[in-house]
Chain A
Amino acid sequence: DIQMTQSPSSVSASVGDRVTITCRASQGISSWLAWYQQKPGKAPKLLIYAASSLQSGVPSRFSGSGSGTDFTLTISSLQPEDFATYYCQQANSFPHTFGQGTKLEIK
């Protein structure tokens, strides 16, 4: 299985801050990477697919980059509704695996 490792596991930030979350794959996955946001008690929500494509309806302050093994999710200016847990997922090979999550907390 391809292992997906996110860093940091948690981060504290303030409204208006720029935040970057990293996801590293244990082997190359080209651009087969998606990012999700999950709030407590809710299902995950797709933010980014194909490493850098913004899902319809997702605010433009979210962006993704990377290919191969190293990827980033950037939130350019944090809003109160962005405090949540973020997951990456690879779809390059089966099984499709997720990172362990990054919890974004209010400072």
Chain B
Amino acid sequence: QVQLQESGPGLVKPSQTLSLTCTVSGGSISSGGYYWSWIRQHPGKGLEWIGYIYYSGSTYYNPSLKSRVTISVDTSKNQFSLKLSSVTAADTAVYYCARTTARRDSLDYWGQGTLVTVSS
């Protein structure tokens, strides 16, 4: 059973960089076939797709965030990461990591989510 777990600071100051890591267990990122995703949910709101990465390092980002987002992968640690620069209060959200299926059509395993608050 694949499990994902987000980790990182719960509080980030405005203009700084938000950094989160997702640790995958029960499956190897480097085995290929799947894409590893980040999604966020503003408090009380809907879901926003941030982007995903393949084990090879290929990435796809939401254009609305592309200038500020970097997703990277560390296959030796079976982890992938999210960096979002120049954050504002509008980036306050629950951030989820998830696995995109090999068909690339849905998200079949999700982390529990982590709330990141942007505040001074």
Contacts and interface: CB of A to CB of B under 8 A. Distances in A.
Interface of A: 1, 32, 34, 36, 42-46, 49-50, 55, 87, 89, 91, 94-101
A45 B108 CA distance: 7
10 contacts: A44-B110, A46-B106, A49-B103, A89-B49, A89-B107, A98-B46, A98-B47, A98-B48, A98-B49, A101-B46
B32 interface: no
B26 interface: no
Most buried by B among A34, A45, A87, A96: A96
Nearest to A48: B106
Contacts of A100: 46
A49 B101 contact: yes
Nearest to A56: B108
Interface in B63-87: 63-64
Given A43-B113, A97-B49, A34 B107 contact: yes
Contact of A55 (B64, B96, B108): B108
Interface in B26-82: 46-49, 51, 60-64
B-side interface size class: 20 to 34
Interface of B: 46-49, 51, 60-64, 96, 98, 101, 103-108, 110-113
Given A44-B47, A100-B46, A91 B106 contact: yes
Nearest to B107: A46
Contacts of B96: 43-44
B108 A32 contact: no
B110 A87 contact: no
Contacts of A34: 105-107
A23 to B, nearest CB: 12
A50 B107 CA distance: 12
Contacts of B61: 95
B105 A32 contact: yes
Contacts of A91: 104-106
B63 A95 contact: yes
Contacts of B47: 36, 44, 87, 89, 98, 101
